[in-house]
């Protein structure tokens, strides 16, 4: 059975909001801190997992940027730390 975990970071002038599978986790002052927390969460599920965030969406009028990374697992094991983009 496959289960994917979707990590999103929404960045704007107010901070960097991290969410996991649609649930807000926290807002961080820096993008690096949000990415570090996402990796920490991924490691709780799959020890040694790493995430690579890629820019999926950028709206310059509001300075909004959305970055995403997925962690794919089959029967509780990672098959790939896969990133995707909306291009």
Given phi > 0 = left and psi -120 to 50 = alpha, else beta, which region is 36? alpha
- From CA 68, how far away is CA 56, in angstroms rounded? 7
Domain boundaries, the chain: 2-82
Compute the distance between CA of residue 4 and CA of residue 83 in angstroms, rounded to an integer. 11
Q: What is the pTM of this model?
A: 0.77
Number of helices and strands in the chain (H, E): 1, 6
Q: Each residue of 19-78: pLDDT tens digit?
A: 999 999 999 999 999 999 999 999 998 888 889 899 889 988 888 999 999 987 654 444
């Amino acid at each position: 059975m496959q289960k994917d975990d979707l990590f999103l970071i929404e960045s704007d002038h107010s901070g960097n909001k991290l969410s996991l599978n649609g649930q807000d986790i926290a807002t961080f002052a820096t993008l690096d801190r949000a990415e570090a927390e996402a990796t920490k969460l991924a490691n709780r599920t799959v020890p040694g997992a790493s995430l690579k965030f890629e820019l999926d969406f950028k709206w310059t009028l509001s300075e909004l940027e959305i970055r995403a990374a997925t962690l794919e697992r089959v029967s509780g094991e990672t098959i790939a730390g896969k990133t995707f983009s909306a291009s």
